[in-house]
C-alpha cells in the first residue's frame, strides 16, 4: 500500500513539474557588449518575459531597448542624429534599461504580446551603437 502511494506521488510529480515549468515566466539571457547584442533565444512565448541583461563590455556603457516593429532589425527609422527614432509610428517602444555599466547585470521584466520585436542599444555618444550593429530581432508567439 505504502509503495503504491509512493509510486502515485512520483507519477504525480513527474506530471505536475513539467507543467509548472512550462507555465512560468519566460527567461531570456541577453549578452551585450561593444557593439553586439546576443539573445540566447529569439522565439519567446507571449506573456511575462524576464530579460537577464549583462554588459560584458570592458569599455562602454550600453542600454537595452525593446521595440515592437515589423521592420527588418537593421532598417529602423533614424533621427537626424542617427539614433533610432523612438517617436516613429513604425516602431513602438516597449521598455528599456539605460546606463548599464561594464560588468554589471540587470533584469528587465516585460509583458509581451505576439509579434515581431527588436532589442537594441540606442546610445549616441560619438558612435551610434545601433548603427554599429547593436540590435537583435526576436519573435513572440
Binding residues (CB under 5 A) for Cu ion: these are 62, 121, 123, 129, 134
For Cu ion, the closer of residues 91 and 123 by Cβ is: 123
DSSP code, position 25: P
123, 92, 39, 16: CA torsion to nearest 10: 140
User: Which contiguous run of DSSP H or E holds residue 101?
Assistant: none
User: Whole-number minimum distance, CB 32 to Cu ion, in Å?
Assistant: 7
User: Whole-number minimum distance, CB 68 to Cu ion, in Å?
Assistant: 20
Tell me the C-alpha distance between 11 and 82, whole Å: 58
User: Whole-number minimum distance, CB 43 to Cu ion, in Å?
Assistant: 24
For Cu ion, the closer of residues 57 and 71 by Cβ is: 57
Strand ranges (E), the chain = 26-33, 36-39, 43-44, 47-55, 62-68, 92-100, 105-112, 115-120, 135-140
User: Whole-number minimum distance, CB 129 to Cu ion, in Å?
Assistant: 3
For Cu ion, the closer of residues 26 and 57 by Cβ is: 57
For Cu ion, the closer of residues 53 and 123 by Cβ is: 123
Amino acid at each position: 500500500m505504502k509503495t503504491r502511494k509512493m509510486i502515485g506521488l512520483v507519477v504525480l510529480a513527474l506530471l505536475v513539474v513539467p507543467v509548472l515549468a512550462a507555465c512560468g515566466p519566460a527567461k531570456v539571457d541577453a549578452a551585450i557588449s561593444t557593439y553586439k547584442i546576443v539573445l540566447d533565444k529569439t522565439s519567446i512565448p507571449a506573456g511575462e518575459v524576464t530579460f537577464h541583461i549583462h554588459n560584458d563590455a570592458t569599455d562602454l556603457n550600453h542600454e537595452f531597448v525593446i521595440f515592437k516593429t515589423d521592420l527588418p532589425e537593421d532598417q529602423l527609422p533614424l533621427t537626424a542624429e542617427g539614433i533610432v527614432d523612438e517617436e516613429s509610428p513604425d516602431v513602438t517602444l516597449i521598455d528599456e534599461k539605460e546606463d548599464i555599466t561594464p560588468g554589471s547585470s540587470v533584469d528587465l521584466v516585460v509583458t509581451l504580446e505576439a509579434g515581431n520585436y527588436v532589442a537594441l542599444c540606442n546610445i549616441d555618444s560619438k558612435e551610434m551603437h545601433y548603427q554599429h550593429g547593436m540590435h537583435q530581432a526576436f519573435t513572440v508567439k
